[in-house]
Amino acid sequence: MTYRWTLNQETFLFNDLKTLLAKATPERSSDSLAGISAVSERERVAAQYALADIPLNHFLNELVIPYESDEVTRLIIDSHDHASFAPIAHLTVGEFRDWLLSYEVTSEVLENIRNGITPEMVAAVSKLMRIQDLISVASKCRVITSFRSTIGLPGRFSTRLQPNHPTDDLKGILASILDGLMLGSGDAVIGINPASDNPTNILCLLNMLDELRMRFEIPTQSCILTHITTTLQLMENNAPIDLVFQSIAGSEKANAAFGVSLSLIKEAHAAVNSLNRGTVGHNTMYFETGQGSALSSNAHHGVDAQTMEARAYAVARQFKPLLVNSVVGFIGPEYLFNGKQIIRAGLEDHFCGKLLGLPMGCDVCYTNHADADQNDVDVLLTLLGVAGCNFIMGVPGADDIMLNYQSTSFHDALYIRALLGLRPAPEFEAWLIKMKLWDSSKNRLNDPGHILLTNGLSGFHGGLLNE
Amino acid sequence: MSKSLKQLQLWTKARVVLGHSGNSIRTQEILKFNYACSRARDAVHAVWNVNSTRMDLEAMGEQVIVVTSHVLSRTDYLKQPALGGRLSEESRVVLEKINKDYDVVFIVSDGLSAIAVEKHFLPLWSKIKERLLQTNLRLSPVVLAPFSRVALSDDVGFYLKAKVSVIIIGERPGLTASDSLGIYLTYGPKPGNLDCARNCISNIRTPDGLSSKLGAEKLNFLLTESLKREISGIALKEETIETLFISHNLPSK
């Protein structure tokens, strides 16, 4: 279907819905790289006018990627719940924005429409929203998940402890974990990006994490962020797997580039659920996403990066994940050029994911060839805290020495918790208090927090620490 | 067993045990971090003195050709990777005129770190040449290609009709190292080759990375095997070299 909008006698034509979505998107380098962005600021606004005028139910008829050729599209359409959609079925995209912002639309109302909205509807409305809108509406969304800790409760803010090491050295990784725990980090997950995907190496890391968790009775979960097929293989060999990790994207072809399909994820999901290792809950998947991943594997089908990202959330929500993490500045300036683009994209992802019912966290980050620095990290971190983001990364000193990029530090999490009066996940907070690492009356660290080192590491992991 | 906090720092180069001022990182640590960042960012935006590299190579007796990609500025380079992967029209004409069959063409580019090329390329080249002198390979002139991506090696190799294309290029800087060189080797260079058709040797720098000597040894192995078996990329895996690499990278503590 063709769309047309006239502004001051200048008429703009858009050939189809995906073109209109791309042209209505606030500027970012990924869409320019794909050659689908607006060619002038006037064209962008005309596209936003035209987009605002489209009825939401039209998104169920004009599909951005054909139903026949893409299993993600089939998932989106086949899982669409018409009853949940009914309260908003009469709205246009523009009216949907007003509806989302209205006083009457509360957390409960938003929860009730979750299964009636598609990623494309959410992406579309986000393109008409300013940063304060993205924050206002996201802060009304509540998505709570649990395994050994409960993540996403009101007044709580969690972190993934990310203790990476360039050679997966066990002592090196342990040093970063202990440092993070003593700074109150790790209540969402202790998650390692391994340098090597060798299954024996991964098993070593898993065993060490599990032993540490049990030795100190830490109410959290561990995860090695390796390919889903490696995790499947390890589960067959009875490795201590809490969560299954996988990177996902918004089209069948882009997922194929990651070496996954819906059926493969389903298989791993069933396998990890059967292990039944959760205590307070049973959300068992950890997904990572990021705008531009579909474009980087040439699997975007002419659809803009942000809409493709929202489609990845349709994949995620099928599996009731514990954590979904948008790694927003990781893949470089050809996708998000500067701090301004990274900040907006991070808030869009958080908004879209939350509205679709996902436990969104964000790796607030940048690479050194992007036009961004730690000041931009501070801005996005603060805005995400205000927006009610479920978790961020905790990296020693914000510097990941394996992946060579900068993210958020353990200290950054302390900053945002103190600033906004947020506390760690309740189970983890109780543990911090028990370990005398945390002063609950002041909601701050006890200083110094040596306790993990002075007590209880004797004989750990076959004498790893004996010298 | 009692361990002091500071001992954690002996186990990793990650920024652990930073202390804190209230909830925040202490001033001296912030300054250290900023310095590491500044080096990485300066490496990205540093300008490669191509002429100086050309003169150094010529002094070593090499023939040198300087070519250009479609990139005109660092901003273009960062925003539009595809432009850096294609040879400019003028350069294509120049290379087509040479039109000679070679076994190997070597291309050098600043990539994302001009500092890496300026610091480590010449020592690496000496080591590579030591090995090449023991062979009968037909080598093209060395091609210097500022503002290039790895894919440019396909264009250059194709127009020079080389069997193998090797590009030595500055890697994306991190905080621990902003001056690493990478080498990418492609058998049968032609526009449109996929990345899985290439072999990569990364992290070449002194003192903490892969040494020039080992880098040259690895390259020599790959080059010999690639020409012999007429392949490159995922089909060309080398266990011997891998062992060499792993043993080199073992933590020193």
| Residues A322-352 pLDDT 10s | 999 999 999 899 999 999 999 999 999 999 9
Of residues B33, B80, B250, nearest to A397 (C-beta): B33
Dihedral of CA B124/B125/B130/B132: which sign? Answer: positive
- Answer whether residue A460 is part of any domain: no
- Answer whether residue A355 is part of any domain: yes
Please give the pLDDT value at position B194: 82
Which domain CATH number covers A21? 1.10.220.70
Q: Which residues of B fall within a CB distance of 8 Å from A420?
A: none
Is residue A74 domain-shared with residue A168, that is, in the same domain? no
In terms of DSSP H, where are the helices of chain B? 8-11, 27-45, 50-59, 74-79, 81-84, 89-98, 114-132, 152-159, 212-229, 239-249
Interface residue B139 vs chain A (CB under 8 A): no
Q: Which residues of B fall within a CB distance of 8 Å from A373?
A: 37, 41
Interface residue A397 vs chain B (CB under 8 A): yes
CA B1 vs CA A182, A318, A437, A455, A466: distances in Å: 18, 48, 20, 8, 9
Interface residue A368 vs chain B (CB under 8 A): yes
Please give the pLDDT value at position A263: 98
Is residue A133 domain-shared with residue A154, that is, in the same domain? no
How many percent of chain A have pLDDT more than 90? 90
Cis previous bond, A87, omega within 30: no
Which domain CATH number covers A176? 3.20.20.70
Based on the structure, what is the number of domains in chain A? 2
- Per-residue pLDDT reduced to its tens digit, A28-69: 999 999 999 999 999 999 999 999 999 999 999 999 999 999
Is residue A98 domain-shared with residue A184, that is, in the same domain? no
Q: The whole model's pTM is what? A: 0.90
Of residues A183, A334, A405, nearest to B80 (C-beta): A334
- Residue A269 is part of which domain span? 145-452
Q: Which residues of B fall within a CB distance of 8 Å from A29?
A: 79
Q: Which domains does chain B have, with CATH numbers?
A: 46-249 (3.40.50.11240)
CA–CA gap between residue A294 and residue A119 (Å, rounded): 15
Residue A225 confidence (pLDDT) above 90: yes
Q: Which residues contact A462 (CB under 8 A, 6 or more apart)?
A: none
Is residue A111 domain-shared with residue A188, that is, in the same domain? no
Residue A191 confidence (pLDDT) above 60: yes
Based on the number of CB atoms within 10 Å of its own CB, is A217 exposed (0-12), middle (13-18) or buried (19 or more)? exposed
Of residues A167, A337, A397, nearest to B79 (C-beta): A337
Which of A95, A120, A140 corresponds to the end of one domain? A140
Is residue A122 domain-shared with residue A161, that is, in the same domain? no
Is residue A317 domain-shared with residue A330, that is, in the same domain? yes
Helix axes A374-387, A410-420, angle to 10 degrees: 40
Q: Which residues of A fall within a CB distance of 8 Å from B8?
A: 175, 178-179, 453
Question: Which range, of A164-168, A314-318, B99-103, B170-174, averages the lowest pLDDT?
Answer: B99-103
Of residues B2, B13, B173, nearest to A368 (C-beta): B173
CA–CA gap between residue A312 and residue A322 (Å, rounded): 16
Range B147-168 average pLDDT: 96
